[in-house]
Structure 1
Amino acid sequence: MRLALVLLLISMQMMLTSCTKPEPAYQWQLPPGFPEPVVPSDNPMSAAKVELGRYLFYDTALSSNQSQSCASCHQQQHAFAEPKKVSKGSTGQPHRRNAQALVNVAYNNSFTWAHDGLAHIESQLLIPLFGDAPIELGAAGQEQAILARLNRQPYPELFKKAFASNKPDFSQVVAALSSFTRSLLSFNSRFDRYAYQQDDSALSQEELMGLDLFFSERLECHHCHGGFNFTQATSHQRQPLDRRPFHNTGLYYTQRTDLADMGYPQHDTGLSEVSLNPADDGRFRAPTLRNIALSAPYMHDGSLATLEQVIDFYAAGGLVSTIDGQISDGRQHPAKSSFVRGFNLTTEEKQALLAFLHSLSDPSFTTNPAYSNPWLSP
């Protein structure tokens, strides 16, 4: 009798479980044939997490003084970059680096400008949330106050759908923000229509000339900005190989403040700060060139204002400038990439290369309502 009762209870539990519909698998918005990104097993994608993350991404309540959100420095109309040389945090403290565009970051195998130990968005997000050099959102020490703000509508239902939780915590905040950021996909440029959708009319003759120049051994652009995502910093289901996407492009080479060495300015020496390897002096991550015309200014410190200046910089094989009264000749840096050798372009060729770079812009990405500010919706 007792065994029969136990079996009946088990049977009822199985029936109840079978009646609970699991959330369907996340549907990546990818063109046919494109590989899916690699997602950490402890934070699988779900539509509910993406939607929760969208609300959090645009919510100034996530900063300690409620003055900034993630979207303050990552603006959709600028391909989720910011049209400033460097960003400022919620307390007004300036960052030393330019805000990177968030385009197809689901495929990134490294994050930030110069860190080879951040393999997932979840790790990178801890820096703007809790970092203090500089303070960005300033959540450190204010966790409970910030979480208390997430009890207002529509958060209770959003957290319940995403995590079956009635009590939000920061691990859920990070997981949801990571999921939304991974959902930011851009594959609808005119270049995509030409290269992947067999639309031969999508690019003009001038843009096709620029394409040929871009992928030529004469200019070498494709070595650091290759593949479907136009960056070496890419991994996906079909490419587990982790290439080291950090390069010294010859931006600076000046006498250090201690007068004992030459190299990048001490306030930002790039990857060498993390690796402690002098050979990594001035090495920064090669960003994607998708939507590059929308995400000015350029380089890790926003020092080049236009794409024309970027082309001139690479054509010269580096930059000659003055820093604190001293001549800086980045062309002479011993760690400069062998691909930055300089080249000559005619006026026609330069315009063609610019035209090609503009063809990588995706207007649907910068206007997609699924990526927009939900707090502005009716």
Structure 2
Amino acid sequence: MRFSTISLLLSGLLLAFSVAHAEQRRGSALLPIDAMVPSKYDFGLPSWAPKPLEPASNPTTPAKVELGRYLFYDTRLSRDGSKSCASCHEQARSFTDGLARSPGVTGDLTHRNAMSLANVAYFPVLTWSNPLLKHLEQQALVPLLGQEPVELGLAGKDEEVIRRFSEEPIYRRLFAKAFPEVRGQISMATIVRALSAFERTIISVRSPYDRYRYEGDVGAVSDAVIRGEALFFSERAECHHCHNGLNFSDTVLHERNRAGEVAFHNTGLYNLDGKGAYPADNTGIMEITGRPEDMGRFRAPSLRNVAVTGSYMHDGSIETLDGVLDHYAAGGRTIKTGPYAGVGHDNPLKSSFVPGFTLTAGERADLLAFLNSLTDEQFLRDPRFSNPWLTAKDKRR
């Protein structure tokens, strides 16, 4: 990890929580500044779904969520006004962007594929390969202020950002409602807290599979989905070891699992030197830990809405779900020529949960049917997560 990145994360922690630090000191007990506690916010969840936890320093409120939604879709939250958070996180794509890697305001490409924000509140660590990023209030600073690569490009632009938002009447009202404890202060700290509050509400739990498995609606899915489910959770395919539970991921945190679980895996996507090497700019958590055995280990993403979130894998190097199945069926990807040539199946650092398997054409169709049943169409159109500026413009006409 570069020292500039470490400095960014440390300063980000202080920035994102500083406004609320005084609130935590009320009463006799002092909470750690990043203590995760049950949320009192009404997320509109079905009874079977647990609530996410949230930092004690940034409780979710309707006013913060409303403000955060406006900020999420506002291109003024970028250096040149050309991009917003939604540029890389589109609702119709389960808050991904359909690209292998995403361009920032300078044209720099992100090192990794944009992850879905669906159910991001249930993850105790964020992004593909950074075990240090544990809160949305930290993570938001990477696209906002990061310089390797530049994404939204706001490093050193605090005063400009504050001026832009201070000139907008909507924001003067929204910040006052969201942050009365600091008299509606418009700052990078309050911007980050509002964005994080909104992102915690982006929850998807109403797919056909949810209705079938958790609500007893046997007509919600086809027989092919049920067969695909059995294969997915079998020891033959082994998918469920890394993709299980509420989020179809083995990294999770919520009110019913407050200890949380965190895991990173090497799936044999690369094997450049026959010893397990991955491309130098994408070595997984080894970049953070420095441990050779962590080469190529990335966090398993959620499979919710996976049918609409391609391209796939941490670097977007597999375009289709069929291609993903090919990769896992082979027990690792073989690249025959070019700079990334290698036999992933033989990667000595590969997870034991990726041994490979054989599928008939019918079984492949069933497994794809199951994965498609995880698409929550209501979520992809839910007005609670949509662009509020479109509505605001209509009201002004």
Q: TM-score, normalised by structure 1?
A: 0.90
Q: Does 1:249 align with 2:275?
A: no
Counterpart contact for 1:255–1:326, Cα < 8 Å: no
Question: Are 2:317 and 1:303 aligned?
Answer: yes
For 1:65 and 1:103, the matched residues in 2 are separated by 27
AA at the equivalent of 1:352: D
Could you say what secondary structure the match of 1:242 adopts? strand
1:283-314: per-residue Cα shift (whole Å, max 9, x none)? 11100000000101100011111001101110
| Map of 1:139 onto structure 2 | 154
Cα distance, 1:25 vs structure 2: 4.8
- Which whole-Å deviations, capped at 9, do the CAs of 1:311-359 have from their partners, x for residues lacking one? 1110000001046446311111111000000000100000000000000
In structure 2, distance between residues paired with 1:219 and 1:124: 33
The within-5 A match list for 1:4-19 is: none
Partner of 1:120: 135
Question: Counterpart of 2:118?
Answer: 103
Q: CA deviation at 1:29?
A: 1.4
From 238, 245, 261, the equivalent of 1:220 is 238
Alignment partner, residue 37 of structure 1? 52
Question: Pairwise CA RMSD of aligned residues?
Answer: 1.4
- Structure number, greater radius of gyration: 1
1:154-303 alignment to 2 at 5 Å?
Answer: 154-164=170-180, 165-255=183-273, 263-303=277-317
> Is contact 2:270–2:340 with CA below 8 Å preserved after alignment?
no
Measured at CA, do residues 322 and 125 of structure 1 come closer, stay the same or move farther in structure 2, by a change above 3 Å? Answer: farther
Distance apart, 1:107 and its partner CA:
0.5
Name the CA distance, whole Å, in 2 between partners of 1:182 and 1:77: 18
Q: Which of 203-212 and 26-35 deviates more? A: 26-35
TM-score, normalised to structure 2's length? 0.86
Aligned to 2:73: 58
Q: CA deviation at 1:203?
A: 1.1
1:29–1:185 Cα contact (<8 Å) kept: no
| 1:328 aligned residue (328, 342, 353) | 342
Letter in 2 for 1:212: A
Instruction: State the Cα distance separating 1:153 from its structure 2 match.
Output: 2.4
Percent pairwise identity: 47
Distance 1:325 1:181, change over 3 A: closer
2:342 is paired with a residue whose SS is: strand
- What is residue 169 of structure 2 aligned with on the other side? 153
**Equivalent in the alignment of 1:3:** none
Is the Cα–Cα contact under 8 Å of residues 60 and 68 in structure 1 kept in the other structure? yes
Alignment size in residue pairs: 351
**Map of 2:32 onto structure 1:** none
Kept in 2, the 8 Å contact 1:269–1:283? The answer is yes
2:137 match: secondary structure: helix
For residues 28-51 of structure 1, the C-alpha deviation after alignment (integer angstroms, 9 at most, x for no partner) is: 211113221111000001010000
Question: Which whole-Å deviations, capped at 9, do the CAs of 1:46-96 have from their partners, x for residues lacking one?
Answer: 010000000000000001111110000000010000111110111111112
What whole-Å deviation, never above 9, does each CA across 1:137-163 have from its counterpart, x for those lacking one? 111111110111111021001000000
- Structure-1 residue corresponding to 2:358: 344
Aligned to 1:147, what secondary structure does the other structure show?
helix
- Greater shift, 27-36 or 341-350, is seen at 27-36
Range that drifts further, 328-337 or 179-188: 328-337
Question: Partner amino acid for 1:227?
Answer: G
The 8 Å contact of residues 285 and 297 in structure 2, kept in 1 or not, is answered as: yes
Aligned-residue offset at 1:201: 1.0
Corresponding residue number in structure 2 for 1:19: none
Q: Which deviations, in whole Å up to 9, do the C-alpha atoms of 1:155-187 show, x marking residues without a partner?
A: 001000000234301110000000000000111
2:370 paired with 1:370 = no
Distance 2:163 2:43 in 1: 32
Rounded to whole Å, the distance in 1 between the matches of 2:71 and 2:169 is: 12
